Chains A and B, each alone.
Chain A
Amino acid sequence: MRKHSVKSAAIVGSALLVLAACGSNKDEAGGNNGGSCDTSKGTLTVGVVAPLSGNLSALGLGIKQSAELAVDEANKKCTVPGYKLTVSAQDDEANPAKGAQAATKLSTDPNVVGVVGTLNSSVAQTVQPILQEKKIVQVSPANTSPTLTRGAEFQTAPKRQYDNYFRVCTTDDLQGPFAANYLVEKAGKKKIAIITDGKTYGEGLAAELQKQVTKKGGEIVGAEKVGEKDTDFSGVIAKIKGLNPEAVYYGGEYPVAGPLSKQMKDAGLDVPLMGGDGIFDGKFVELGGKEGDLATSVGAPTESLATAKSFVEAYKAKFGKEDYAAYGAFSYDSANVIIGALAKTVEGGAWDESKREAMLTNVAAYSASGATGEVKFDEYGDSTNKVLTVYQVTSSAWKDVQTGEFTG
């Protein structure tokens, strides 16, 4: 509250100064709000498409706010000379049709320079073609389905799907097998049970894991599904328990994974639960994630990355708490990709819609060190950052136990 009034006082003060400088408040030529950067060329917009209402909104809000953080920083640092940047966040309600509408809305605005999003791969499927039509670059912080970049036959005959689509996160076909290797080879768990939440992310991840486990000589003893709104997993656990697995792999996100892990333990199934980056979140432990549970996440451990730490600190300073959720850092990087490419695109010139082509080239050539490690794209638009880390819950916190690249 206090912060707010200080901020407003600052706004009021600076505005009054500007008005005083003009000598009268009749001056309607606007846009200059007293910042120190030159913003004479106007305002450009970074779009965000993510679920901002409904039950995935925690993840969506993390994406939105992290993008806002990146844009704020860029405005302060005058990253894009001559322009002020804003974020326009559109709710997709995790619904493909709503996502299409949100994307169309952004695509009709000539000042939109790029879009961060989406959370759900299924929504991405409707957003991709709409943005491609207008050659608007899309950088996803969270879509993990390999088909989005490399098509349905992504393993045998990869083919770039949309030249405007990039992502900074890892894909199921890397993360799943990486986890499988760890489970089977390093941890020596041969009998693995799979539980998924039935959504694109978890299903894709689990399917890729399953292939690799079998390849490495492990055994999938059972595959079960829980409802995405379920809270009582006793039935699934009892069933899995009868199969005597040595580990359980969960394809899904932490709101289900945490309680699932706890209920497993309570029911006497005390084997580690492993998941992907969707469960790599402090909340997982809070919600019941037990000692010894495992998760994979993209990039090297945060502690070893100065960029990651500074993101966390800046986020906390801006929003007061660390609710950037699972994809905040990726979203921050995504926004920075767009901003960085934009700076290069408008260097010495002005923005107009015809520059979108150049944006695509500049994003494809983008390379920098972000909050999640190296940010760079391969010929399909996937992140080249194939470094993955396995984390384990130790003393109620995630601790890295293995970092490396998936090599097959």
Chain B
Amino acid sequence: MSVLLQQLANGVIQGALIALIALGYTMVYGIIQLINFAHGEVFMVASYGGLATFTLLPDDLKKTPAVALPLMFVGGIAVAVLVAVVMERFAYRPLRGSSRLAPLITALGVSVFLQEAVRVWYPDATSNLPYPKVFPEGNLSLGAVNIPWTGVLLIVLSVGLSIILQTYINKSRMGRAMRATAQDPDTAKLMGVNPDRVIVLTFVFGAVLAGVAGVMFGGYLNNINIDMGFQNGIFAFTAAVLGGVGSIRGAVVGAFIIGLIKTLSGQYMPGGTQYDYVWIFVVLILVLVFRPQGLFGEPERVRA
């Protein structure tokens, strides 16, 4: 029983992390129908950005987590936003209006490029790097279940930020513009929405969330590597598809489902942790076959 509870807790924490990344995927896809494969790398770069910020801090600040931690978040988010904006401006924007595949290939190229750039240029990034110990230590113990405080923080941030995002998109003027652009870019343009601005903003929002996720990832797991972006990016995109691409709520729910499938299938399914990935993808395929639009997606209207 305690194992089950512990695994549930683990799954929720993993889900919280994936959710933060998945939101970036789902928003970008919702607006310009692009699987932004490089989004996972934005998350990775943010993590290194946070680490670099810490390394650059003077020694006495390094010892004050209350200052160092926020600065790391700022650093990580700044790097993520910068990379995302540059990527949108110079890699994706020139391709808008071309075939559907071109930007996708570009996204794959950006992904490979970012990963390799960090590996070659970030000192010692060829191997895993330890993350500074400025995060709250210890566990929240609920009976036999241990949840690290970083995990708790991750869940709080993930849920909190997605609620803020959802509210912003539903209530604000810019949010309306985003929704309008997602549904019908041409009409939105006629209504005075500047699509370029909306798209950049979408990338920025995604990058901010990925930045938070990147720094929290280091804090929660104590180490980062250049592959983390790809791996979690795939999960996050899967989560976005599972929940219904374009839906904020869907992405979050999808992410939690994936986190839970991973830990629970590793625990209870035959083959154990060897096949936990396989189960994620099996569930994904089943969901897509029986509910192609994802859990919370709009059913696709036949164009005729």
**In the complex, are there CB atoms of A and B closer than 8 Å?**
yes
Q: How far is the CB of A38 from chain B (nearest CB, A)?
A: 38
The reply to whether B126 and A239 form a contact with Cβ atoms under 8 Å apart is no
The reply to whether B274 and A198 form a contact with Cβ atoms under 8 Å apart is yes
The reply to whether A55 and B7 form a contact with Cβ atoms under 8 Å apart is no
The reply to whether B221 and A231 form a contact with Cβ atoms under 8 Å apart is yes
The reply to whether B272 and A239 form a contact with Cβ atoms under 8 Å apart is yes
What is the CA–CA distance of A16 and B231 in the complex, to the nearest angstrom? 54
> Which listed residue (B10, B128, B146, B262) contacts A287, Cβ 8 A?
B128
Q: How far is the CB of B239 from chain A (nearest CB, A)?
A: 15
Interface mask (B1-13 → A, CB under 8 Å = 1, otherwise 0): 0110011001101
Q: How far is the CB of B226 from chain A (nearest CB, A)?
A: 7
> Which listed residue (B10, B139, B225) contacts A238, Cβ 8 A?
B10
Interface mask (B162-203 → A, CB under 8 Å = 1, otherwise 0): 000000000000000000000000000000000000000000
The reply to whether A224 and B272 form a contact with Cβ atoms under 8 Å apart is yes
The reply to whether A234 and B263 form a contact with Cβ atoms under 8 Å apart is yes
> Which listed residue (A235, A241, A242, A286) contacts B11, Cβ 8 A?
A235
The reply to whether A235 and B274 form a contact with Cβ atoms under 8 Å apart is no
What is the CA–CA distance of A232 and B220 in the complex, to the nearest angstrom? 9
Q: How far is the CB of B199 from chain A (nearest CB, A)?
A: 31
Q: How far is the CB of B6 from chain A (nearest CB, A)?
A: 4
The reply to whether A229 and B231 form a contact with Cβ atoms under 8 Å apart is yes
Interface mask (B200-233 → A, CB under 8 Å = 1, otherwise 0): 0000000000000000010011111111101100
The reply to whether A232 and B223 form a contact with Cβ atoms under 8 Å apart is no
The reply to whether B227 and A229 form a contact with Cβ atoms under 8 Å apart is yes
Is B119 an interface residue, CB under 8 A from the partner? yes
Is B148 an interface residue, CB under 8 A from the partner? yes
A225-B272, A267-B146, A268-B139 known; A283-B222 Cβ under 8 A: no
The reply to whether A234 and B14 form a contact with Cβ atoms under 8 Å apart is yes
The reply to whether B276 and A235 form a contact with Cβ atoms under 8 Å apart is yes
Is B130 an interface residue, CB under 8 A from the partner? yes
What is the CA–CA distance of A231 and B213 in the complex, to the nearest angstrom? 14
Chain B residues with Cβ below 8 Å from A239 are 3, 7, 266-267, 272-273
The reply to whether B221 and A225 form a contact with Cβ atoms under 8 Å apart is no
Is B277 an interface residue, CB under 8 A from the partner? yes
The reply to whether B273 and A234 form a contact with Cβ atoms under 8 Å apart is no
A236-B273, A239-B272, A258-B128 known; A231-B228 Cβ under 8 A: yes
What is the CA–CA distance of A53 and B226 in the complex, to the nearest angstrom? 12
Nearest CB in chain A to that of B267: its residue: A239
Count B interface residues, CB 8 Å: 40
The reply to whether A288 and B10 form a contact with Cβ atoms under 8 Å apart is no
Contact count band on A: 35 or more
Q: How far is the CB of B5 from chain A (nearest CB, A)?
A: 9
Q: How far is the CB of B167 from chain A (nearest CB, A)?
A: 29
What is the CA–CA distance of A137 and B250 in the complex, to the nearest angstrom? 58
What is the CA–CA distance of A255 and B146 in the complex, to the nearest angstrom? 24
Is A259 an interface residue, CB under 8 A from the partner? yes
Q: How far is the CB of B295 from chain A (nearest CB, A)?
A: 23
Chain B residues with Cβ below 8 Å from A230 are 231
What is the CA–CA distance of A288 and B2 in the complex, to the nearest angstrom? 26
User: Which residues 219-235 in A have Cβ within 8 Å of B in the complex?
Assistant: 223-227, 229-232, 234-235
What is the CA–CA distance of A235 and B276 in the complex, to the nearest angstrom? 10
Q: How far is the CB of B263 from chain A (nearest CB, A)?
A: 4
Q: How far is the CB of B205 from chain A (nearest CB, A)?
A: 25
What is the CA–CA distance of A355 and B141 in the complex, to the nearest angstrom? 69
The reply to whether B222 and A259 form a contact with Cβ atoms under 8 Å apart is yes
What is the CA–CA distance of A241 and B263 in the complex, to the nearest angstrom? 14
User: Which residues 111-161 in B have Cβ within 8 Å of A in the complex?
Assistant: 116, 119, 124, 126-128, 130, 139, 146, 148
Q: How far is the CB of B138 from chain A (nearest CB, A)?
A: 9
A235-B266, A238-B267 known; A255-B10 Cβ under 8 A: no
Nearest CB in chain A to that of B127: its residue: A58
Q: How far is the CB of A199 from chain B (nearest CB, A)?
A: 13
User: Which residues 98-139 in A have Cβ within 8 Å of B in the complex?
Assistant: none
The reply to whether A263 and B126 form a contact with Cβ atoms under 8 Å apart is no
What is the CA–CA distance of A286 and B224 in the complex, to the nearest angstrom? 12
> Which listed residue (B3, B116, B124, B273) contacts A224, Cβ 8 A?
B273
Chain A residues with Cβ below 8 Å from B228 are 229, 231
A259-B221, A263-B222 known; A235-B128 Cβ under 8 A: no
Q: How far is the CB of A118 from chain B (nearest CB, A)?
A: 18
Q: How far is the CB of B23 from chain A (nearest CB, A)?
A: 19
Chain B residues with Cβ below 8 Å from A344 are none
Chain B residues with Cβ below 8 Å from A325 are 127
Chain B residues with Cβ below 8 Å from A267 are 6, 146
User: Which residues 265-298 in A have Cβ within 8 Å of B in the complex?
Assistant: 266-268, 283, 286-288
Chain A residues with Cβ below 8 Å from B130 are 258, 286-288
Q: How far is the CB of A226 from chain B (nearest CB, A)?
A: 7
Nearest CB in chain B to that of A53: its residue: B116
Q: How far is the CB of A371 from chain B (nearest CB, A)?
A: 21
Query: Taking each of B128, B227, B228, which has the highest tally of chain A beta carbons within 10 Å of its own beta carbon?
Result: B128
Is A396 an interface residue, CB under 8 A from the partner? no
What is the CA–CA distance of A231 and B17 in the complex, to the nearest angstrom? 12
Nearest CB in chain A to that of B3: its residue: A242
Interface mask (B216-257 → A, CB under 8 Å = 1, otherwise 0): 010011111111101100000000000000000000000000
> Which listed residue (A229, A234, A259) contacts B230, Cβ 8 A?
A229
Given contacts A256-B128, A267-B6, list 10 more A-B pairs with CB under 8 A.
A57-B126, A224-B266, A231-B231, A232-B14, A234-B263, A242-B2, A255-B128, A259-B221, A259-B223, A267-B146
Interface residues of B (CB under 8 A from A): 2-3, 6-7, 10-11, 13-14, 17, 116, 119, 124, 126-128, 130, 139, 146, 148, 217, 220-228, 230-231, 262-263, 266-267, 272-274, 276-277
Question: Can you list 7 contacts pairing A with B, beta carbon distance less than 8 Å?
Answer: A55-B226, A227-B231, A232-B220, A258-B128, A263-B222, A286-B130, A287-B130
Closest 5 A/B residue pairs (Cβ): A235-B263, A58-B126, A234-B10, A242-B3, A255-B128
